Amino acid sequence: MEIKHMKVLIVYYSMYGHIHRMAEAVAKGANVVDSTEVVMRRVPETLPAEVLKKMGAIEAQKTFSHIPICMLDELASADAIIFGTPTRFGNMCAQMRQFLDATGGLWKEAALTGKVGSVFVSSATQHGGQESTILSFHITLLHHGMIIVGLPYLFTNQARIDEITGGSPYGASTIAGNSNERMPSENELAAARFQGKYIAMITSKLAGHQREIIDGMRKT
Ligand SMILES: Cc1cc2nc3c(=O)[nH]c(=O)nc-3n(C[C@H](O)[C@H](O)[C@H](O)COP(=O)(O)O)c2cc1C
């Protein structure tokens, strides 16, 4: 059996499947890097079934209900965490906020400090707050002492203007459309794969050394 020596955790919320599709692409990219265990997890739903029904989310959510719910200790045991969230009024969704607000105990122990953190998003419209969602998400990651990684311009197709596309130096993204009718394009999925691979490559150089760095810093 192959020994996996580092863990990349992908934690996300998706209502209609856009972020789920992007998460699969991030996972595909991270899987390319040797000795990487890639784990996909969802954050718990907070909306009642009747509200989800009114929002037309029930059928879509069934297609990824097999993805397990993330346990807090899984964050602590990962070497890198890549978070995915739909935009809600220019910010992360409440389901993700609630999940993160339960990580105070991990913060107290600096359990996520020195781990690689990254974010990808989805929004209905092109200028509906993808960048503000990622950048404001980074604040929480910084409080945890995480090392933030985005989507460098090495992924040159984030700059293309021959088609409508998500993707920015802050992270991969997709544009879902006002009725959530548009699924991630091939370019957006390529950005997500790139981000996953890039993070796994960086993490492969850091994995196993985080504790050493933190202990060293505590002595200074
Ligand atoms: C309450 C609410 C607020 C939203 N706010 C925004 C927004 O600020 N900008 C935007 O472009 N889309 C917004 N959307 C659309 C979602 O971002 C979109 O449905 C989502 O990205 C689809 O991804 P998912 O299928 O993974 O949930 C909002 C949706 C809801 C329900």
Taking the model in full, what pTM does it have?
A: 0.97
Predicted confidence (pLDDT) per residue in 202-213, tens digit: 999 998 888 888
Q: Angle at CA 196, nearest 5°, toward 192 and 200?
A: 170
Check if 76 has its Cβ closer than 6 Å to any atom of ligand 1.
no
Predicted confidence (pLDDT) per residue in 31-47, tens digit: 999 999 999 999 999 99
Which atom of ligand 1 lies at the shortest distance from residue 127's CA? 11
Confidence check: pLDDT of 126 > 70? yes
Distance in Å, CA 163 to ligand 1 centroid: 21
DSSP-assigned beta bridge partners for residue 83: 11, 119
DSSP-assigned beta bridge partners for residue 40: 10
Predicted confidence (pLDDT) per residue in 9-30, tens digit: 999 999 999 999 999 999 999 9
Amino acid at 196: G
Distance in Å, CA 60 to ligand 1 centroid: 15
Amino acid at 12: Y
Q: How confident is the model at residue 136 (pLDDT cuts 50, 70, 90)?
A: very high
Which of 94, 99, 90, 97 shows the shortest CA–CA distance to 41?
A: 99
Which atom of ligand 1 lies at the shortest distance from residue 15's CA? 27
Check if 14 has its Cβ closer than 6 Å to any atom of ligand 1.
yes
Centroid of chain to Cα 58: 22
Q: How confident is the model at residue 156 (pLDDT cuts 50, 70, 90)?
A: very high
